[in-house]
């Protein structure tokens, strides 16, 4: 029976610590694992936060541009440029800001979900 430590090898350090904690906890019942999986399903990743903030800024500045002044359209252009940079480079300049606000990357959340699912299915609880 595997102990799941091979999942940890390619994950960021904070997530590695979190996954190690998951693997060490022996009092994880199936219900606790289910509850944590539900929490992880609702957790927002840093990428999701950045995308939502960008879309909100574009919508708001477009409305303000039509309602008040065309100068507001500059914000839409700037946010669009940032999102284009994100798409071309694969990393947005504002993602580190979201991570400083304690949002985790999507792959970190997925790694924890997979570890918990493995614990649940392998009867390691």
pLDDT in tens, 61-86: 999 999 999 999 999 999 999 999 88
The confidence score (pLDDT) of residue 7 equals 46
Does this model's pTM top 0.75? My answer is no
The domain ranges of the chain are 45-119
Q: Which of the 8 DSSP states describes residue 125? A: -
Q: CA 109 to CA 107: how far, in whole Å? A: 5
CB neighbours of residue 108 within 10 Å: 21
Tokens of 105: 């990357």
Non-local (6+) Cβ contacts of 64 within 8 A are: 72
Could you report the per-residue pLDDT of 12-51, keeping only the tens digit for each?
A: 555 656 666 665 554 567 788 888 889 999 999 998 999 9
């Amino acid at each position: 029976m595997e102990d799941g430590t091979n999942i940890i090898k390619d994950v960021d350090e904070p997530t590695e610590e979190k996954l190690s904690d998951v693997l060490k906890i022996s009092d994880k019942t199936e219900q606790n694992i289910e509850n944590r999986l539900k929490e992880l399903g609702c957790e927002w990743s840093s990428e999701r936060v950045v995308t939502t903030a960008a879309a909100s800024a574009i919508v708001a500045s477009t409305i303000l541009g039509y309602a008040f002044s065309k100068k507001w359209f500059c914000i839409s252009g700037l946010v669009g440029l940032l999102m284009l940079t994100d798409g071309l480079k694969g990393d947005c300049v504002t993602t580190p800001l979201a991570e400083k606000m304690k949002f985790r990357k999507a792959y970190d959340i997925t790694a924890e979900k997979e570890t918990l699912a493995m614990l649940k299915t392998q009867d390691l609880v």
